[in-house]
Amino acid sequence: MLKEKLEVKMGSAERPKAKKLGFSTRAIHAGQPPDPSTGAISTPIYQTSTYVQDGVAQHKGYEYARTQNPTRGALEACLASLEDAQYGICFSSGMGAISALMNYFQKGDHIIASDDLYGGTYRIFEKVFKSYGLEFDYVDSSNLANVEKVLRPNTKMLFLETPTNPLLKITDLAEASKLAHGRNIIVAVDNTFATPYWQQPLNFGADVVVHSTSKYLGGHCDVVGGAVLTSNDKIFERVKFCQNAVGSVPGPLDAFLVLRGVKTLALRMERHEANARQIAQFLKGHPKVKKVYYPGLPEHPGYETAKKQMKGFGGMISFEVKGGLEESKRVCEAAEIFSLAESLGGVESLIEHPALMTHASVPKEVREEKGISDALVRISVGIEDAPDLIADLEQALA
């Protein structure tokens, strides 16, 4: 009976029956039955480009590995299950996933996106898809009145991040979906920061979720990947078609690494958050810290909305150091356990300077308008011991 619930045909378009089991049970088992030919308990890395056919056009569901690969299929089924989605489609990077989704649209379509967007997403919208005739507006979607102001008859998608990067602004997913659906607009959510463990956007009305699996889902800073999850047949068909047609598919080893990472997602996220809560409190009380951005702090403007749609607040914190560029740079460079690096979501703690690193491509005026000051520092809190992380920040701030 229980086993039946976990039976998800690899790479299939069938709704995973695993939905009713708990999150970690699904993370460990959905799409990953023991290998039928050997009993291997870990999904094998099917490192092959082609598959031998029994007769002409008689195959076992696998013809060529851009189109189908069993390791990738297992990951697709598992991630779909975790997002409560019917379909999962995996890519070689988060940007590969987002660009496949963008193929759903046509010249003349208008898209409204959160203004505090991942830099690479802003770049592909502005520097690639704009030249194909798509139109974009960027607004602070944490206030939906801003979205309403830029609606047009040709608006086709709201592309949301919540929490955003680096200011961790929160958009109300249920309200955004209501606003969009009355107008035939689809809602896409980049759920990389929250992960499905803390937030499942489809359950609040979103139509499609995208992920960079390079972050928390992989979880160990050792793989780059992406995914699109949806229960919308039309979106699935187009994105699945483009996965094969465009070809930015993950290799089987990468799919294996994400599958392996996802098995401990619940444990890791609990620890990321427990550490982040303590660090947010510590930073709040520190005389050299001007402001702390963490959605789990009651004074954060998105706190109430976050509480409504997230089961936890995650492991990302930004803070402004008193002073300016020199002071914030010095904190980043003085940290010892926190490694100075871009990216996020791994077991190891990272620290970075948004204005000079992840968001350097955003013009200074635009950054300032959005509230990304030169004094801002962003940390991805890892799963080391909290007292050690706090001691490290303490000495870096000193």
Ligand X SMILES: *Cc1c(COP(=O)(O)O)cnc(C)c1O
5, 66, 178, 260: which is the annotated catalytic residue? 66
**How far is residue 236's CA from residue 284's CA, in Å, rounded to a whole number?**
44
CB 206 within 8 A of CB 188: yes
Among 68, 71, 114, 121, binds ligand X (CB under 6 A): 121
From the list 7-15, 102-110, 114-122, 295-303, the region that binds ligand X by CB under 6 A is 114-122
How far apart are the C-alpha atoms of 339 and 381, rounded to whole Å? Answer: 11
Binding part of the chain for ligand X, among 43-51, 80-88, 189-197, 276-284 by CB under 6 A, reads 189-197
Q: Show Cβ contacts of residue 304 under 8 Å, excluding neighbours closer than 6 positions.
A: none
**The pair of three-digit structure tokens given for residue 198, joined into one six-digit string:** 């803390």
> Which residue is catalytic, options 190, 207, 254, 374?
190
The verdict on 165 binding ligand X (CB under 6 A) reads: yes
Cα separation, 85 vs 63, whole angstroms: 26
Beta strands 339-340; 316-321: pairing state: unpaired
195 touching ligand X, by CB under 6 A: no
Least separation in angstroms between residue 56's CB and ligand X is 39
Please tell me whether residue 215 binds ligand X under the rule CB under 6 A: yes
Q: Which of 85, 167, 224, 249 binds ligand X (CB under 6 A)?
A: 224
Of the candidates 105, 118, 122, 216, which one interacts with ligand X according to CB under 6 A?
A: 118
Segment contacting ligand X (CB under 6 A): 5-13, 118-126, 150-158, 275-283? 118-126
Considering the complex, what minimum distance in angstroms separates the CB of residue 25 from ligand X? 27
DSSP conformational letter for 35: P
Question: Does 118 qualify as catalytic in the annotation?
Answer: yes
Query: In the beta sheet, which residues pair with residue 137?
Result: 112
Helices (H), the chain: 2-6, 23-29, 70-82, 94-102, 119-124, 144-149, 173-181, 195-198, 233-246, 252-262, 265-284, 303-309, 325-334, 364-370, 386-397
Element (H or E) spanning 289, and its range?
A: strand 289-293
* Cβ–Cβ under 8 Å, residues 293 and 317: yes
Give 246 or 386: the residue with its C-beta nearer to ligand X. 246
Report 259-298 residues binding ligand X (CB under 6 A).
Answer: none
Pick one of 33, 44, 120, 323: the residue that binds ligand X (CB under 6 A). Answer: 120
Active-site position among 46, 87, 104, 118:
118
Backbone angles phi, psi at 61, to 5 degrees: 100, 0
**Binding to ligand X, residues 52-111 (CB under 6 A):** 93-95
Q: Give 99 or 328: the residue with its C-beta nearer to ligand X.
A: 99
Among 69, 99, 200, 212, binds ligand X (CB under 6 A): 212
Q: Is 352 in the site for ligand X (CB under 6 A)?
A: no
The amino acid sitting at 386 is A
Percent helix, strand, coil in the chain, to 5, is: 40, 15, 45
Applying CB under 6 A, the site for ligand X has a residue count of 16
User: Which residue among 156, 215, 268, 277 is the active-site one?
Assistant: 215
Report in angstroms how near the CB of residue 325 gets to ligand X at its nearest: 24
Q: What are phi and psi of 376, to 5 degrees?
A: -80, 135
Taking the least distance from each CB to ligand X, the nearer of 62 and 118 is: 118
Q: Which of 81, 177, 192, 243 binds ligand X (CB under 6 A)?
A: 192
Angle at 321 between CA 315 and CA 325, to 5 degrees: 115
Q: Can residue 320 be called a binding residue for ligand X (CB under 6 A)?
A: no
Task: Give the one residue of 190, 352, 374, 392 binding ligand X; rule: CB under 6 A.
Answer: 190
Nearest to 344 by CA among 186, 197, 176, 217: 217
Catalytic residue numbers read 66, 118, 190, 215
Interface ranges with ligand X (CB under 6 A): 93-95, 118, 120-121, 161, 165, 190, 192-193, 212, 214-215, 224, 226
